[in-house]
Amino acid sequence: MARPAFAGAMVQGALCNVRAPWRALRRHRFQHKVTARTMNGFSSYSAQSSAFQTGRSSPSRLLEDALALIAKEDDRVGAFVALNVDGARRAAAESTSRWLAGKPLSPLDGVLVGVKDIIETRDMPTGQGSPMWEGFATNRDAASVQALREAGAVILGKTATTEFASTELYAKTTNPHDSKRTPGGSSSGSAAAVGAGFLPLALGSQVVGSTVRPASYCGCFGYKPTFGALNRSGSYDHLSQSCVGILGATLEDVWLCARAIASRVGGDPGHAGLSGPDELPAAQAPRKLVVLETDGWRKSTSGAREAFAAARERMSGQGIELADRNSDPKIDAFEGLIAGALDLTWIMMAWEFRWPLATYEQRAASQVSAAMLARLRQAEAMTQRDYADALERRVRIRQAFADLMTNYDGAVTLAATGAAPASFETTGHPGFNVPASLLGVPAVSLPVLEDEGMPLGLQLIGRANGDAELFAMARRICEQR
């Protein structure tokens, strides 16, 4: 796929006003020596408000810096499938004026945001990672995009996704830290854009592991909210585990982005939406955490296991009580319940994908991947009772987790089985990610580990509707590293 054309003059510079960490990242990134720890040096976008108000920096300046970096590096990374440079410049100029007048719309006024290409934007096509839908324009914003525009965000471009946010990567997107490795999927371009330093924030989605795993591979923060917490209207992911995901360079910006969406457009219909303070929740150490192996453990690399063991030792040293299947029979029983989480999710996804895949096959079967057609065949072999049985099993598993959480503050595990695979035939195994999606609970990937000299995320999983509590725990763990 051809890379986006860039309009107007480009200038050299860094994306972030706090330049040293970004420069350090760029200095080492292309030598494959960046580590996840580098990411913790980034300053949050909202921390730049004083510089914006005095004119020492501005959203317009940050945009031009970002465009210069994108022009230089995105042919290699391939994060974007579309850019609206003129529209972004207008929005950034308006934001700059508001900051100088002391009237920003929100702490994120002027922040650059990328949008996964299954989420509608009024000024760019929504191609869903499929040749069938390339160039398709809806001329409206999804709820999440509308909310961010109301908060003053600058929507810069659409980011690459796998086909229908599910299977094959139509665009060629690479890991920003090693071009021979996958960025993960399905929020491939969003994770790559943030990991490359192109953007502070990007929207993704998650049904299985499409936000948390790419965040792990690309060295950024990734957040999957409680199911229904963020309004996904206008996003072409109608599945029963789908959530708007957020990828960001800092934990604070991720939270501010989530609250900007929820406070303006709420949650999914029938859901009140994400609650909590508008600012990043105060750090709060978890008292007791469940250590989950999941199906991912047996597929994890030795380096990932060693990194997790070290993280576990650090958390224990900080006074956090950790329990696993060997110390608590209830955890062992729960591990048994989620042992088939991925297969169970595939069953539900197949049925839920029967429409629209049947219409796509009728329209242009040659433009639908073999993997998606196989999913359609699976759905056609199912009965309504099969789907109902799967839903009932999911309800039982969710109740078991809720019961387990009466004695614990959350769970901790890896965000991926190891470093990003050195292959473009896979976006990585979702074994560590699917439990939180199946459970409908919040999860966050923290870029604090490494494997093979590449980023690796530590995943925290919270209680349903305990997103603010989860961020408080995540903040404490990041601060005490």
Is 179 noted as a catalytic residue in this protein? no
Distances (CA, A) of 105 to 56, 59, 233, 275: 19, 13, 23, 20
Any bridge partners for residue 159, and if so which? 80, 116
H or E element that contains 461:
strand 454-461
Contact status, residue 261 vs residue 226, Cβ threshold 8 Å? no
Q: Smallest Cα–Cα separation from 442: which of 415, 410, 477? A: 410
What is the phi/psi pair of residue 429, to 5°? -90, 130
For residue 327, cis peptide bond before it (omega within 30 degrees of 0):
no
Share of the chain above pLDDT 90, in %: 88
- Phi and psi at residue 150, in whole multiples of 5°? -60, -30
Q: Which residue in 43, 44, 57, 210 is the catalytic one?
A: 210
pLDDT in tens, 95-133: 999 999 999 999 999 999 999 999 999 999 999 999 999
Catalytic site residue 186?
yes
Residues of the chain with pLDDT under 50: 1-41
* Structural domains in the chain, sorted by start: 19-265 (3.90.1300.10), 288-341+387-479 (3.90.1300.10)
For residue 398, give both structure tokens: 């969710």
pLDDT given for residue 43 in this prediction: 74
Radius of gyration of the chain (CA): 21
Q: Which of 95, 116, 144, 300 is catalytic?
A: 116
Q: Look at residue 42 in the predicted model and tell me its pLDDT.
A: 59
- 116 catalytically annotated: yes
Rounded Cα gap, residues 25 and 33, in angstroms: 9
**Catalytic option among 46, 57, 60, 186:** 186
Per DSSP, the residues of 224-291 read EPSTTSS--TTBS--STT-EEEEEESSHHHHHHHHHHHHHHH-SSTT-----S-SSPPPP---SEEEE
3-class SS of residue 44: coil
Whole-number pLDDT of residue 193: 98
Task: Please tell me the pTM assigned to this model.
Answer: 0.92
Q: Which two tokens stand for residue 147?
A: 């909310």
Q: Is 182 helix (H, G, I), strand (E, B) or coil?
A: coil
Task: Give tens-digit pLDDT for 157-192.
Answer: 999 999 999 987 777 999 999 999 999 999 999 999
With b meaning 16 or more CB within 10 Å and e meaning fewer, what string describes 156-183? bbbbbbbbbbbbbbbbebbbbbbeebbb
Q: How many CA atoms lie within 13 A of 361 on its CB side?
A: 16
pLDDT of amino acid 168: 77
Angle at 424 between CA 76 and CA 373, to 5 degrees: 125
